[in-house]
Structure 1
Amino acid sequence: MEQEVEFIPVEKSFFQQPTLQLAESLLGCLLVKETEEGTAAGFIVETEAYKGPMDRAAHSFNNRRTKRTEIMFHDAGHVYTYVMHTHCLVNVVSAEKDIPEAVLIRAVEPYEGIDLMIERRGGTSLKNLTSGPGKLTKALGITMEDYGRRFDEPPLYIGKGFTPKDISTGPRIGIDNSGEAKDYPWRFWVTGNEFVSR
């Protein structure tokens, strides 16, 4: 790792950038979760942007406001967790208050607490450890209890990591029934990184 890694949360202002820009800026950042078992962390290597009211793939499409999506209507930098097929997924709330947009963290490259992550994931290989949105939350110990926290303060936070040399973009994954939204190139990943989900 060429750049110095700091286990210090980013400033609140980091999250105050347009959603697509934030989805790119998160690449290379350190995602950290502190628990009683220890600290686990990894570099974010894949994200997906969801642009709220006008995005058929977003939970908040048409400004849909439910108990689940309520946190999306808060200001940028909040933690939006939800359960999908028994997996907890984690998102960074983006955009301004009352504009419900978010960035899904799809994959991280393991960095700290790797033994703990392997234990939580049942002894899987390193490459398979955090290469998907449900895998990374289980490995890092991110749960529904994190819903509504802020990413600029412990125990679940984003810190500075590295600056990717190349970033790739393409359509998001697993949203086939979302009309034209399935083709938006709103998935971002660190080009060539082996921990990207696919």
Structure 2
Amino acid sequence: MLNQQIEFVRAFFDHQPTEKIAENCLGRKLIYDGPHGTVAAYIVEAEAYLGQNDSTAHAYHGRRTASNEPLYGEPGTVYIYSIHGRYLFDVVTQPKDVPQGILIRAGQPCDGIAIMEQNRNKHGVNLTNGPGKLMEAFGIHDMKMNQQYVNDCPIRMDLNHRLMPERVVASSRIGVNQSGPSANSPLRFYVAGNPYVSGMLKRDRLKNNGWKNN
């Protein structure tokens, strides 16, 4: 059963362009079985990183180090890294040794909200409207899950169910190296009108949070 589960995860994070996978993750529930209980959020924002040919990617020009080694793993491999003391969560999206992945940038809390609020000492939209905020709210402060598989470790994604966005927006990515040719590539995908999208203005927020029939 476990091998079947891993193969299912690999199949989801393979066989499609990374940007399509990033878009397809929107509306999926990201779940973490943490030390204080289970927390979860619907993914509302994700960015694609295209490996050797992407000037903003950790594997640009084939860069391979101990820290980015998880990117070279099988599809569905967890890649967590730290920036300015905060941890960010990526998933590998292509076959082994093709270092592409998606960064989960923001989520709409749905389970274990009290735990998340305690973890961050924040409430409302500011709880999870950024990649570092999301991991902090989940209570993830290390890279112990690196090179494990999504759904075969404490962090999981519900790949069988999905909230459907009314509209998905593609834009340039946030906080990337602006000096290279890929800086303005439209590889950031988000649910239009969802208040938990990073930088979403109040005037652009929708009452239904941007979901169909919700």
Q: Settle same-fold status: TM greater than 0.5.
A: yes
- One-letter amino acid matched to 1:179: G
- One-letter amino acid matched to 1:141: G
Contact 2:145 2:153 in 1 (8 A): no
Over alpha carbons, which structure has the higher Rg?
Answer: 2
Give the Å deviation of 1:76: 0.8
Q: Which runs of 5+ in 2 are unaligned?
A: 200-214
The whole-number CA distance in structure 1 between the counterparts of 2:176 and 2:48 is 12
Greater shift in the superposed pair: 187-196 or 146-155:
146-155
Matches within 5 A, 1:82-97: 82-97=81-96
The whole-number CA distance in structure 1 between the counterparts of 2:169 and 2:113 is 26
Greater shift in the superposed pair: 160-169 or 185-194:
160-169
* Aligned counterpart, 2:209: none
**Count of residue pairs the alignment pairs up:** 190
Runs of 4+ in 1 over 4 A off after TM superposition: none
Q: Does 1:127 align with 2:125?
A: yes
Greater shift in the superposed pair: 143-152 or 104-113:
143-152
* Aligned counterpart, 2:65: 66
Give the Å deviation of 1:9: 9.3
Contact 2:80 2:90 in 1 (8 A): yes
The whole-number CA distance in structure 1 between the counterparts of 2:12 and 2:72 is 18
Q: Judging changes above 3 Å, is the alpha-carbon distance between structure 1 residues 89 and 9 closer, same or farther for their aligned structure 2 residues?
A: same
* Aligned counterpart, 2:108: 109
The whole-number CA distance in structure 1 between the counterparts of 2:196 and 2:119 is 18
* Aligned counterpart, 1:14: 12
* Aligned counterpart, 1:47: 46
Contact 1:35 1:155 in 2 (8 A): yes
Q: Which runs of 5+ in 1 are unaligned?
A: 1-7
Q: Judging changes above 3 Å, is the alpha-carbon distance between structure 1 residues 104 and 10 closer, same or farther for their aligned structure 2 residues?
A: farther
Q: Describe the SS at the equivalent of 1:83.
A: strand
- One-letter amino acid matched to 1:44: I
Task: Kindly provide the CA deviation profile for residues 113-171 of structure 1, in whole angstroms up to 9, marking residues without a partner as x.
Answer: 0000000002x121100000000001112331121221133411111331212100100
- One-letter amino acid matched to 2:196: F
The whole-number CA distance in structure 2 between the counterparts of 1:119 and 1:161 is 27
* Aligned counterpart, 2:176: 175
* Aligned counterpart, 2:165: 164
Q: Describe the SS at the equivalent of 1:90.
A: strand
Give the Å deviation of 1:176: 3.9
Q: Give the TM-score, by structure 2 length.
A: 0.85
Give the Å deviation of 1:177: 2.9
